[in-house]
Structure 1
């Protein structure tokens, strides 16, 4: 019986560690889930940041700046340019007949479509207000 006593201690120690290991594993799994959520949030914010950046400067220029190219080297010269001014004919009358959110939706739809066409044709856009 005396020879089996160390064996019992090992078994007892093993059963005592099991709940502690489970708690540690649970904590690590919680950390992992939080990290996954944080990474998804980071990806979403990076996409949003990219969208805002591409509204201010052309995508190729932004990409070149991100790659470490000097800002002066991103400057381009164009032999010909076209300037487009937009106006919504009857805008005041339209605003009288729809809700404020309707005005926002109308303008958002219209300028989103402009942006899609600009991107499709790889045109540089600069907004003057």
Structure 2
């Protein structure tokens, strides 16, 4: 799964792909069929999905890892709708990520994760491999 360039914008529903940046802000494209483009000013808070974590009992859990677990178990454990009953969402998330901090991960967070999974799972980027970080090289070209 390649989440590079996929962001969430505070105050706006859905997910967006960063397609550019200029002095006025970021140029984003919606991930839906319409592929609308919008300009977000630099003061608007955006969060890259690659950087988002949720509270865990031991360590924070990367959103990417949760998405992978959801995808791997989708056949045996169907993903509920984001508007499902709060108890159903909590029960589902407990099965997907039993080591999350139940006191600090709210139902609204779970709804957002389930909603984002629904958007991402239908896109080709779900099948793409994440680009490996390039190893730093010395001046002579060796690592």
Please tell me whether Structure 1 or Structure 2 has the larger radius of gyration of its CA atoms.
1
Higher share of residues assigned helix: 1
User: Which of the pair is proportionally richer in strand?
Assistant: 2
TM-score > 0.5 by shorter chain: no
